[in-house]
Amino acid sequence: MIAFQNVSKYYEHQGVLKNITFSVQKGEMAFLTGPSGAGKSTLLKLMYLAEWPDEGDIVIEDFHLQSLKPPEIPLLRRSIGVVFQDFKLINNLTVFDNVAMALRIKGVGEKEIKNLVSVALKKVHLRHLSDSYPRSLSGGEQQRVVIARAIVTEPLVLLADEPTGNLDPNTSIDIIKLFEEINLQGTTILIATHNRELFRNTGRRVLKLDGGNLVGEEVG
């Protein structure tokens, strides 16, 4: 479950998010759209605390971010899978180790890691690139590594920031199908994108952001 209550965020006194209130139910899959610079990435960053909200309260599952104690920050982040818009892959680790990192951080044993990582890489059709380094991959391949890393921990909440930005239409459809599958297992998903094709005819809720304001909601 995700709930924003009157949340605002400023960068140098400039309001980037203004008085945002919305919620996404547990097990729901929703979209967040809006023009470039609308504040989509910023809104997602507030949830995994890459940035801190200046006003308002955010609740993610059982975590109330306003009263979160420092030792709980890693726990919050581990229960959220993030597909970063700028990937954030570690260049001196292989594809396998990049995906495995999310599990190592959680203290999962190496044997289990082997299985889980290869299952995740298979889901994004990248098993053959397991030993490659991120720099040698195409943009689309790198993006799929990031997706594999986000889903390998089976997080309670999955946040995807422009997850198909570097993918061709067919691969994009594959990825959305993958998200649908994961959603069926109970994961709450929020996908930020300006690609309207992604949510067309999905029947999912679409939150519309513009200039830092939540300007409405539609059904895709």
Ligand X SMILES: Nc1ncnc2c1ncn2[C@@H]1O[C@H](COP(=O)(O)OP(=O)(O)OP(=O)(O)O)[C@@H](O)[C@H]1O
Give me the 73-92 binding string for ligand X, x by CB under 6 A, dash otherwise: ------------x-------
Q: Does the footprint of ligand X cover residue 42 (CB under 6 A)? A: yes
16 binds, among ligand X, Mg ion, another protein, none (CB under 5 to 8 A by kind): ligand X
SS3 57: strand
Q: Residue count at the site for another protein (CB under 8 A)? A: 27
As given in the structure block, the two tokens for residue 57 are 């309260």
Q: What would you measure as the largest C-alpha separation in the chain, in angstroms?
A: 49
Q: Are 134 and 91 spatial neighbours (Cβ–Cβ below 8 Å)?
A: yes
CB of 51 to another protein, least distance (A): 11
Interface with another protein by CB under 8 A: which range of 72-80, 125-133, 164-172, 201-209? Answer: 72-80
Q: Does the footprint of another protein cover residue 137 (CB under 8 A)? A: no
Q: Does the footprint of another protein cover residue 119 (CB under 8 A)? A: no
Q: Residue count at the site for Mg ion (CB under 5 A)? A: 2
**CA atoms of 124 and 130, how far apart (whole Å):** 11
Q: Does the footprint of another protein cover residue 70 (CB under 8 A)? A: yes
CA distances from 83 to 25, 48, 154, 155 (A): 20, 12, 13, 12
Q: What angle do CA 67, 71, 76 make, to 5 degrees?
A: 70
CB of 212 to ligand X, least distance (A): 7
Interface with ligand X by CB under 6 A: which range of 37-45, 55-63, 95-103, 137-145? Answer: 37-45
What does 160-183 look like in DSSP terms, one character per residue? EESTTTTS-HHHHHHHHHHHHHHH
To which residue do tokens 């997850």 refer?
163
32 binds, among Mg ion, ligand X, another protein, none (CB under 5 to 8 A by kind): none
Strands (E) located in the chain: 2-11, 14-24, 29-33, 55-60, 63-64, 80-83, 157-161, 188-192, 205-210, 213-219
Point out which residues bind ligand X (CB under 6 A): 11, 16, 34, 36-42, 85, 194
Residues forming contacts to another protein in the complex (CB under 8 A) are 48, 50, 70-71, 73-78, 82, 84, 88-90, 92-93, 101-102, 104-110, 149
